Structure 1
Amino acid sequence: MSTLADHGDAPEGGWDALVIGTGIGGGTLGRRLAEAGMRVLFLEKGQADARSAENGLSEVALPEARAVRGLWPAPLTATVDGITQRFFAPLGSGPGGSSVFYAATLERPDRHDIDDTPGRPHPTGGWPLGFDTLAPSYAEAARLYRVYGTPDPLSPEVPLPLRAPPPLTAVEARLFDRLQRSGLHPYHAPTGIERIDGCRMCLGRKCPKACKMDGRSAGVEPALATGRARLVTGAEVTRLVMDGDRIAAVEATVDGTSRRFTARRIVLAGGALGSPRVLLRSACEDWPDGVANRSGLVGRNLMFHLNEILAVWPGLDGPPTKAVSFRDLYHRDGQRLGTVQAMGIRASYGEITYYLQRMLEGTRLAPLAPVARLPAALAARLLGSAQILVGLLEDLPYRENRVGADGHIHYTLHDELKARRRVFRRALRQAFRGQRGLLLGIAPDLNWGHPCGTLRFGHDPAHSVLRADGRTHDVENLWVADASFMPTSMGVNPSLTIAAFALHVADGMLGGRK
């Protein structure tokens, strides 16, 4: 088996596919290609690290320390509603990407997220692939990531092939009971954990074991085990070298040395912030506005979710939970709202400090962020045993919301999003009426861990970057397999959708291989 820090020297006959990025998209696609007999080279910007390096997303701020822990080393620069801020986002950099830190919630969206359902038209014209077309890929992704949980009782669709979840803890049982008494329909959130014997230590943290199914454990490592894949870490792709409408080579800096890599097929899987940057940085005489950018949409239509953080007191003290989810507020009165789910954290001092600072950093009160520890300490005493839930409010695409070649994010909170947020917050208050609950946020809180949409797919080359099979309209040998393909953000976590789309893209590549 190849190691996690190979040199990437081409085998006899060359590489069949070069995959840039090893998150859920790149890892899943690379595994599918390697297991089908293709020779696959992974290029990963982050460093190879020991699996035993357990840590969370917000523990360090020093770039060098973040890099060796698998965290995205540099702060993001974002201008949101005219206010520019720099901060460390909850993103990963290393084998598995951000997925090694995620809480392993793997939700399938509802039909209305994707289809133009009669009576509920999609606000952006829908996806080029409908729910029924993608359903087999969702089912296969659920099996690949060994997802356990229970079906959403409100969904009329055929359930995912879910494994039976572990028994509910006393706190979880109390939460389920209280939600059901309020007329809601909770279910055990689908979770990608190999072990179901009550292990909850790796939810939201890098797991020192191999029990969490992520882009590394379910993607890269099985691909390497075939003997037909290699992984080069510390490889920052600088540009794509073009030969007309084909990529002739990929230039990357590896440990300070510039190198060129070649393959028959190139796959971008650097995430919705990283993949468009590669294309924009590769501008040349034939591609003055960036590679694959004849539509002018590369980097545009950037979306996130909006977080609505809610503290709920179950009346019992116990460990944090990720088991609780419900979709009663998912789509209401024609409004696209979103899922509500437990975050897997307690209302501890550290978590409250982090969210207070993030709220302040997005406002003109940013200079007060360092003193957030004082109200956080008071809030931690008042909140006590509260469990933290989050409502994920769907974001919709706007051309001016974008990421540039320099990584600078420009984002405007549109009036329709603000209006839907008000509806969502009222619905959350009504859902928890009669229970002890508290909405913690004041200003809109973008979910910086869920960027998507910057290389949207579609049938029309004038209004999309990718075809329905994930290949670019403009470049013959370039595919994309990350969250950038999404035309809308949907009302659920994007992880399972990224994995399902990666499988769909890989199958198309295998069907057309030469």
Structure 2
Amino acid sequence: MSPPLTETRWDVIVIGTGIGGGTLGRALAEAGRKVLFIERGPAGQRAARNGLSEVFVPEARLARGLWPEPLHARVNGVESRFFAPLGAGLGGSSVFYAATLERPERHDLDDLPGLPHPAGGWPVGFDAMRPWYDRASALYRLHGSADPLSSEPAPILRPPPPFTATETGLMRAMQAGGLHPYYAHTAIDRGADCLNCLGTKCPRPCKMDGRSAGVEPALATGNAALLDRAEVTRLIGGGDRVEGVELRLDGATHVVRAGTYVLAAGALNSPRLLLASACEAWPEGAANGSGQVGRNLMFHLNEIFALWPPRGTSDSGATKAIALRDLYHAQGRRMGMVQAMGIRASYGEITFYLTQMLARSRLRAVPGLGQLSRLPAALAAKVLGHAQIFVGLLEDLPYPENRVTHDPAQPHRLSVDYRLHPELLERRRAFRRAIFRAFKGQRRLLLGHGPELNFGHPSGTLRFGTDPARSVLDPDCRAHGLRNLRVADASFMPSSMGVNPSLTIAANALRVAGSILEEDR
């Protein structure tokens, strides 16, 4: 009889099964390494198709693959509690994502003449990352078309499905206005019976995420195993090595051991685990000799707007197919890309956003506030028809005071402290103006009022770099001072870039896996 998973000595233990952990674990398993994936949530039913929800009972959330507890956020000194779009199940948060995997621009990683980098450039630059982006693009079966504004060779892309009538109308209107839209880079094999699982679990293997492109192929090799419903409480060890992972499973405490340990629990949870691992050998937490663990937290800011196709365009449903980078770096400022969200602006959405805007205005104390939005929303939906919702992703910058926090009295709690810096607010105003001007001549409506942090895109909390005093990880994403601990999630990023982080997480995970294999030779 084989020993239980908790008693086996593994080559590599991977904490987290999202895009980073799943991709890295697959690469190592396919290379013959014995890999154990540890996941807090359940493996779940493969046919499940639930999305993010506001279910409040922790056990019910966990059963759906959702992070069971609320995030405690202190933003500009104001405390709030809410359920962030975080997963806790096989595939992590990635099973709920909209499968947008965009490669960043060269200036996102490199410090260039005329385009200075906010963090001085990444220790691994664009040219060094390019082959890993290509491998990740192939692994995740990216579909789309080349960005007409890019001077770089396009990543590996499969031909996308034909544009619908709605998408064709929007594309032509944008091009007539001088913009350069292209078919967004997505990781969904859209067949004739595609369920278009944007924001929900996909019951089929056509949506590439940490589960379908990572853990499941790894398990199929016979070299990997999954320990689900296991809550990691801390790393144990001393000196320059991690010696084990302490976890709770079925009400009992266990320690699992490996030669190499990989943190891929997400940019909020990975630093929390390191801080919770404080001991005599690591008084400030594991890998925290620099005091930088949890700091430099970044999010994107969402600028959401409605865009209507030309009048007379037939309604083909919601679109996720359109993206453009005309405003990526504009007016000398780091801004970001614009992309369709896969949502239509019908009566319900317009009512919601108008209500939110009124709630933040001076009218918020007026009795019957909710009723005030219904008539204009009904008129907008009637006169303008079904618009498409687009979002501009505004790049956030790293500031040490923006951080994941840790309370030893509540070691399991996820909490952040974040301040909206004046430069970010100024760039946001410029971005909103640029969006409004860029779509001049088209029917459009900015839907946001105040700044909206994208809590689904945290990054930067375990940044990599060459200076151990200013970073947590070395260029190979090995923790400074801990020879056998690596990181493979968005926390390694020293800047947030102007695109969704998913492709970069996958590419870096493949790079880190390659480094581990090279080290073993």
TM-score range, shorter chain: over 0.9
* Residues 214-260 of structure 1 deviation map (CA, whole Å, 9 limit, x = unaligned): 00000000000000100011111101111321111100011221111
Hey, what's the Cα distance between the residues in 2 that align with 1:363 and 1:57?
28
Q: Report whether the alignment pairs 1:460 with 2:458.
A: no
Hey, what's the Cα distance between the residues in 1 that align with 2:394 and 2:350?
21
Hey, what's the Cα distance between the residues in 1 that align with 2:274 and 2:63?
27
Partner amino acid for 1:215? G
Tell me the residue number matched to 1:426.
433
Hey, what's the Cα distance between the residues in 1 that align with 2:359 and 2:42?
29
Q: Report whether the alignment pairs 1:241 with 2:236.
A: yes
Write out aligned runs for 1:53-92 (5 A).
53-58=48-53, 60-92=55-87
Give the counterpart of 1:327 among 325, 328, 343.
Answer: 325
Hey, what's the Cα distance between the residues in 1 that align with 2:213 and 2:51?
20
Tell me the residue number matched to 1:95.
90
Partner amino acid for 2:5? G
Tell me the residue number matched to 2:455.
448
What TM-score, normalized by structure 1, do the two folds share?
Answer: 0.94
* Residues 184/107 of structure 1: CA separation in 2 closer, same or farther (3 Å cut): same
Maintained 8 Å contact 2:20/2:264: yes
**Equivalent position SS for 1:278:** helix
* Residues 249/359 of structure 1: CA separation in 2 closer, same or farther (3 Å cut): farther
Hey, what's the Cα distance between the residues in 2 that align with 1:374 and 1:135?
51
* Residues 103-131 of structure 1 deviation map (CA, whole Å, 9 limit, x = unaligned): 00000000010001122111221100110
Tell me the residue number matched to 1:271.
266
Equivalenced residue count is: 508
* Residues 312/113 of structure 1: CA separation in 2 closer, same or farther (3 Å cut): same
Hey, what's the Cα distance between the residues in 1 that align with 2:171 and 2:373?
31
Partner amino acid for 2:404? V
Maintained 8 Å contact 1:292/1:474: yes
Hey, what's the Cα distance between the residues in 2 that align with 1:373 and 1:395?
35
* Residues 80-99 of structure 1 deviation map (CA, whole Å, 9 limit, x = unaligned): 11111111111111010111
Partner amino acid for 1:481? A
**Equivalent position SS for 2:338:** strand
Tell me the residue number matched to 2:410.
none
Tell me the residue number matched to 1:312.
307
Maintained 8 Å contact 1:204/1:344: no
User: Aligned-residue CA RMSD in angstroms?
Assistant: 2.4
* Residues 380/391 of structure 1: CA separation in 2 closer, same or farther (3 Å cut): farther
Q: Report whether the alignment pairs 1:395 with 2:396.
A: yes
Moved more, 139-148 or 45-54: 45-54
Tell me the residue number matched to 1:173.
168
Tell me the residue number matched to 1:342.
340
**Equivalent position SS for 1:338:** coil
Give the counterpart of 2:127 among 109, 117, 132.
Answer: 132
Maintained 8 Å contact 1:401/1:410: yes
Q: Give 1:279 shift.
A: 0.2
Q: Give 1:348 shift.
A: 3.9
Q: Give 1:275 shift.
A: 0.2
Tell me the residue number matched to 2:516.
509
Q: Give 1:347 shift.
A: 1.7
Tell me the residue number matched to 1:108.
103
Q: Give 1:366 shift.
A: 9.5
Q: Give 1:268 shift.
A: 0.1
* Residues 352/97 of structure 1: CA separation in 2 closer, same or farther (3 Å cut): farther
Tell me the residue number matched to 2:212.
217
**Equivalent position SS for 2:27:** helix
* Residues 38/113 of structure 1: CA separation in 2 closer, same or farther (3 Å cut): same
Q: Report whether the alignment pairs 1:148 with 2:146.
A: no
Q: Give 1:352 shift.
A: 5.2
Structure 2 alignment gaps of length 5 or more? 407-412
**Equivalent position SS for 1:276:** helix
Moved more, 271-280 or 196-205: 196-205
Give the counterpart of 2:251 among 253, 256, 262.
Answer: 256
Hey, what's the Cα distance between the residues in 2 that align with 1:47 and 1:359?
38
Give the counterpart of 1:472 among 479, 482, 491.
Answer: 479
Tell me the residue number matched to 1:404.
405
Hey, what's the Cα distance between the residues in 1 that align with 2:329 and 2:514?
32
* Residues 431/20 of structure 1: CA separation in 2 closer, same or farther (3 Å cut): same
* Residues 304/507 of structure 1: CA separation in 2 closer, same or farther (3 Å cut): same
* Residues 24/511 of structure 1: CA separation in 2 closer, same or farther (3 Å cut): same
Q: Give 1:200 shift.
A: 5.0
**Equivalent position SS for 1:128:** coil
**Equivalent position SS for 1:78:** strand
**Equivalent position SS for 1:53:** coil
Maintained 8 Å contact 2:351/2:377: no
* Residues 354/499 of structure 1: CA separation in 2 closer, same or farther (3 Å cut): farther
* Residues 261/56 of structure 1: CA separation in 2 closer, same or farther (3 Å cut): same
Moved more, 379-388 or 161-170: 379-388
Hey, what's the Cα distance between the residues in 1 that align with 2:487 and 2:359?
32
* Residues 312/297 of structure 1: CA separation in 2 closer, same or farther (3 Å cut): same
Hey, what's the Cα distance between the residues in 2 that align with 1:83 and 1:192?
37
* Residues 190/255 of structure 1: CA separation in 2 closer, same or farther (3 Å cut): same
Q: Give 1:356 shift.
A: 6.7
Moved more, 59-68 or 377-386: 377-386
Tell me the residue number matched to 2:409.
none
* Residues 372-393 of structure 1 deviation map (CA, whole Å, 9 limit, x = unaligned): 5873685366244010000000
Hey, what's the Cα distance between the residues in 2 that align with 1:353 and 1:90?
22
Hey, what's the Cα distance between the residues in 1 that align with 2:120 and 2:358?
36
What TM-score, normalized by structure 2, do the two folds share?
Answer: 0.93
Partner amino acid for 2:117? H
Maintained 8 Å contact 1:85/1:361: no
Moved more, 153-162 or 379-388: 379-388
Could you tell me the percent identity over the aligned residues? 63
